[in-house]
Structure 1
């Protein structure tokens, strides 16, 4: 099955349709370079099975695949499965792999640079409140690892690329959907 994506449809939907798992298997035709990264992400998604990473679903599980740059989510009874294109850390030094869990959910998060960010760039502001300049976008899932988040971004150029300081970024529309489904205690594995 082929689906044609136009720049107009991408801008109109905010790529919300990509949240459906069917997108992982559809071919995308586009001549628009602004959508090229979406083609890359969709074609490079590999199917992940939660059973390869967890014994049970608990209240839900997330597998963030840093290789294919995709976030997979299953709810507690496996009636919902979603896959989202994501950004991943810039380098392996910033990538932390393993098991963690969602410990807090925040709509309209504030952003505070980490000590290592401040060391690299002392001119960074102490804090950025919620809004269009906030690097965490509209929603954030705080993980049990200090400074690590699954969050939105207002800079959609980052999705599908290595562009993060350790966090996993999603389009704002997609993190809003995921935020609504995820419960505190959802287990997460970064692979």
Structure 2
């Protein structure tokens, strides 16, 4: 008996169906674009398993000594961002995009040093060397890679920001920053403050 192969349509339906517990507006935005919404990896079951594990609620205590100014934990491997408010009344868990490679990934402790609604964007010198065709400046708007809001970190060039390209969320797709759906970064933007602790693991 030969095993039947999944068609592109059924594979796409399986991935979308398996992740249906994620934010439904985000899935609705991304699912219409077709197969490119799913990260290309060798084993589809591994992708689904990792996405499920990334949406596991965590306690802040193993990661922070206190919640002064609130705390953000980014788990690069599971592609999830966690937020706890200072008084512990708010806990949020968001799917995120993460850096393309380990070379672009930075881990450790930092903090929010600036908050910008409607950010503009300039590629870093390293980005321009890798992609000389990229523009030197992109103003706020639908073509801006930082989306609608950005949290600037104490590490130069590193940010937590939105994206207009919803296909990037849940994937290794950034040049170092952490990306969220625009509706999620807007919510996180309102919850955080300058001085909010950030830990990338």
- State the TM-score bracket (shorter-chain normalisation): 0.7 to 0.9
Return the match for 2:53 from 25, 44, 49. Answer: 44
Instruction: Say whether residues 1:114 and 2:114 are aligned partners.
Output: no
RMSD: 2.6
C-alpha distance 130-51 of structure 1, shift in aligned 2 (>3 A): same
Per-residue CA distance 1:9-67 (angstroms, 9 max, x = gap): 94xx3469xxxxxxxxxxxxxxx968867966651224332111211000100000001
In 2, Cα distance between equivalents of 1:102 and 1:40: 31
C-alpha distance 41-80 of structure 1, shift in aligned 2 (>3 A): farther
Per-residue CA distance 1:106-156 (angstroms, 9 max, x = gap): 000001000100111222111100111000000000000000000000011
Number of aligned residue pairs: give it: 171
Question: TM-score normalized by structure 2?
Answer: 0.77
In 1, Cα distance between equivalents of 2:174 and 2:146: 11
Instruction: Say whether residues 1:139 and 2:172 are aligned partners.
Output: no
Instruction: Say whether residues 1:123 and 2:130 are aligned partners.
Output: no
In 2, Cα distance between equivalents of 1:5 and 1:162: 20
C-alpha distance 166-60 of structure 1, shift in aligned 2 (>3 A): same
Structure with more of its chain in strand, by fraction: 1
**Rg (Cα) greater in structure:** 2
**Is the CA contact (8 Å cut-off) linking 1:41 and 1:85 kept in structure 2?**
no
Matched residue, 1:55: 65
